[in-house]
Structure 1
Amino acid sequence: MASVSMILALILASLFAIIRVVRFPVLDAATRLFISFFRGTPLLVQLFLFYYGLPQLFSFLTAIDGVTAAIVGLTLHFSAYMAESIRAAILGVDRSQWEAAKSIGMSTGQMMRRIILPQAARVAAPTLINYFIDLIKSTSLAFTLGVTELMGAAQKEAAGSFLYFETFIVVAVIYWVVVESLAFVQSKIENRLSKAVSR
């Protein structure tokens, strides 16, 4: 669930960031509204909105299951945050790079794909890993939609065995190990990026 949400969020965030940078008139306004809403409301409210609220308005959504609702909610929520990080990274690329690309006749798409985005990705990578860590921890909210992920399974186990402390301390340790592993990867990436910049 976390991996799928992260991949989809990264794709959406990149698209939103490009729209914000290039400033397509109507799309830019819509993207600003999207980012404002999903950054300004709690994730749990968004999950409930997708799972319980929207099916009441649109009958074709009544078949949506908890996993799908969780993936959609996590994807949209984190794409809003990631979009701003990617946008900042894109704007951080030296203006001479933009001008050089334009001077040799590159289109906006070619310039973004070949020159700007690869450089922005190096800058944004540590922050995006932080969001991935937050996303992994946020998957624990999926159990409120009836999804039997780690937290949901722990809830059932604890309710059956009455070993609440033992069960949830194991869950905490699992999350801790996963997050620390990602933090280790993040530190390695940051070290490599700092060395690349210093050369």
Structure 2
Amino acid sequence: MAVLDFDYMLGLIPILLGYLPLTLELAGIGMVLALILACLLAVVRVLAIPVINHFAIVFISFFRGTPLLVQLFLFYYGLPQLFSSLTVIGGVTATILGLTLHFSSYMAESIRAAIIGVDRSQTEAALSIGMTNGQLMRRIVLPQATRVALPTLMNYFIDIIKATSLAFTLGVTELMGATQKEAAGSFLYFEAFIVAAVIYWIVVELLSKLQHYLEARLNKAYSR
């Protein structure tokens, strides 16, 4: 039975950590854009805006019903084939686009459920004093829905971070891409992927701690 090369693993840690910022950047940008798009989709679904609502339903159905990897390939390889002007799309851009559209479809349904869960009496009271639907959403519904949806949204952010590992299939050298290259050069695949797994694990655990902290802060006013 082969013995693990711990010296190689220790030496690999700082190398892979050098690519962690790109992984977090991809996930962070993807999360922000996905959250913005998800809020818009959720509001459209709740208000049942004509025409746009049907588009939102099809959008959510498509991106929830197809694998992320297929979507990444469509954006990176497929779109430039249809539109020559899109050949400038790089692996990073295609990854962010894929993460944004894919996870916004899931987050939209979570946000929609949180919005629907807000007490109807508050909505009726706001409308009775002359608030528009936009003011109602911005001032009454979304702040309360945020507290309800936060745990699910944080879990999606964790999923986005792990999903960035697919970026290496588009030639992006993030954490997973760097691990693949280092492993291919040393043939110590098990050691390399163990180090990568531990780094992902630590990042996820830190985010989980942050999630618990934010939940406690948001729920503090409701625990009295």
Asked if 1:52 is matched to 2:77, the reply is yes
- Deviation of 1:146 after TM superposition, in Å, equals 0.3
Aligned to 1:168: 193
From 110, 128, 135, the counterpart of 1:85 = 110
Distance 2:220 2:173 in 1: 43
- Deviation of 1:194 after TM superposition, in Å, equals 4.2
Distance 1:197 1:139 in 2: 36
Asked if 1:76 is matched to 2:101, the reply is yes
Distance 1:3 1:193 in 2: 22
Distance 1:137 1:121 in 2: 23
Aligned to 1:11: 36
Q: TM-score, normalised by structure 1?
A: 0.97
Q: 1:138-157 alignment to 2 at 5 Å?
A: 138-157=163-182
Aligned to 2:11: none
Asked if 1:27 is matched to 2:34, the reply is no
- Deviation of 1:193 after TM superposition, in Å, equals 4.0
Matched to 1:154, the amino acid is: T
Where structure 2 has 5 or more consecutive residues not aligned to the other structure, the ranges are 1-25
Matched to 1:52, the amino acid is: Y
- Deviation of 1:184 after TM superposition, in Å, equals 1.4
Aligned to 2:209: 184
Q: Is the 8 A contact 1:150 1:171 kept in 2?
A: yes
Q: Is the 8 A contact 2:35 2:107 kept in 1?
A: yes
Distance 1:194 1:148 in 2: 40
Q: Is the 8 A contact 1:39 1:81 kept in 2?
A: yes
Deviation string for 1:146-173 (max 9, x for gaps)?
0000000111111112221111111000
Bigger relative CO (Cα 8 Å, ≥ 6 apart): 2
Identity of aligned residues (%): 74
Asked if 1:115 is matched to 2:140, the reply is yes
Q: Is the 8 A contact 1:126 1:189 kept in 2?
A: no
Per the alignment, in what secondary structure is the counterpart of residue 124 of structure 2? helix
Q: Is the 8 A contact 1:16 1:31 kept in 2?
A: yes
Per the alignment, in what secondary structure is the counterpart of residue 17 of structure 1? helix
- Deviation of 1:2 after TM superposition, in Å, equals 0.5
Matched residue pairs, number?
199
Per the alignment, in what secondary structure is the counterpart of residue 130 of structure 2? coil
Deviation string for 1:14-56 (max 9, x for gaps)?
0000000011110000000000000000000000010011111
- Deviation of 1:195 after TM superposition, in Å, equals 4.0
Bigger radius of gyration, 1 or 2?
2
From 81, 85, 90, the counterpart of 1:65 = 90
